[in-house]
Amino acid sequence: MLDPILIIELGVLGLATGFLAGLLGIGGGMLLVPFMTYILGARQVPPDLAVKMAIATSMATIMFTSISSVRAHHQRGAVRWEIVKRLALGIVLGGFTASLGVFALLKGSFLAIFFALFVSFSATQMFLDKKPVPSRQMPGGTGQVAAGGVIGFLSGLVGAGGGFVSVPFMTWCNVPIHNAVATSAALGFPIALANVVGYVIGGQGVVGLPSASLGYVWLPALAVIATCSVLTAPLGAKAAHSLPVKQLKRVFASLLFGLAAYMLWKGIAAF
């Protein structure tokens, strides 16, 4: 039985990440992982394992958030499905490679530091909002499969839905921002599914997992966060088409810098 305060904490996290997933096209992992690491650590889960479980559980919630978010975007005709089809193949291959192989081999402290550095880079790009060269376009089919592989692999290491890579990549290729956000939301499901299968298989037999865990995925947190995030993801998607996304990105980037600093501290302290 979960503590009522813990349920409230997880519920608030779910509401916030669901809204951000719809609004900015991110899976919420950049927000979820630091808070989940703290919550698991408070429940006496070893630091190294807490980071891995936070990443895996965060990714599992994206399976539900992405479905809710993409429905709202699709109803507005904003999803570029031809891009989704090409990137998805690479995403699945890259996700399996990361979650089933590399993830299990790396220490949680290294993953925490990698998460912090990558989120800092993503936040900087988000804050600066650089404009692409007008003539640049999306690469061909092979290039998009390769790009999907990179997105899936990086997502598997940090537990995020790939929006932190796919949205900048698509806007860099002159895909309009609203289409990039909507398409990124659609990519969240194959990213999450491929990685979660790897986390579940790779986490079998690991010592120290809390009760009600499926591999590295902590099921009670998944249930609460997913339930709440599905409620707010459509609201975020609706807001994305009416709110000043550029200004919101800068506010969110500022928050990410703080969360990255926390994860960097956790990673260094675990060595």
pLDDT by residue (tens digit) across 103-131?
Answer: 878 888 888 898 888 888 878 877 777 66
CA 250 and chain centroid, separation: 18
> Which pLDDT value is given to residue 218?
93
Instruction: Check residues 27 and 233 and name the one with the higher pLDDT.
Output: 233
**What mean pLDDT is predicted for residues 233-244?**
78
Range with the poorest average pLDDT among 77-86, 141-150, 172-181: 172-181
Q: Is 175 helix (H, G, I), strand (E, B) or coil?
A: coil
Binning pLDDT at 50, 70 and 90, where does residue 30 land?
Answer: confident
Q: What are 187-219's pLDDT values in tens digits? A: 888 888 888 999 999 899 888 898 889 999 999
pTM greater than 0.85 (yes/no): no
User: What residue segments make up the domains of the chain, in order of their start?
Assistant: 4-270
User: What are the helix (H) ranges across 76-140?
Assistant: 81-96, 103-105, 108-128
CA distance to 93, 133, 151, 155, 161, per residue, from 63 (Å): 17, 33, 16, 13, 9
> Which pLDDT value is given to residue 130?
64
- Residues 271 and 256: their CA atoms lie apart, in Å, by 23
Residue percentage of the chain with pLDDT more than 70: 93
Enter the tokens of residue 215. Answer: 């591999």
Q: What are 67-77's pLDDT values in tens digits? A: 877 887 888 88
> Of 64, 52, 72, 24, whose CA–CA distance to 189 is shortest?
64
- Residues 109 and 225: their CA atoms lie apart, in Å, by 24
Residue 212, sorted as left (phi over 0), alpha (psi -120 to 50) or beta, turns out to be left
Burial class of 247 by CB neighbour count within 10 A (0 to 12, 13 to 18, 19+): exposed
Binning pLDDT at 50, 70 and 90, where does residue 100 land?
Answer: confident
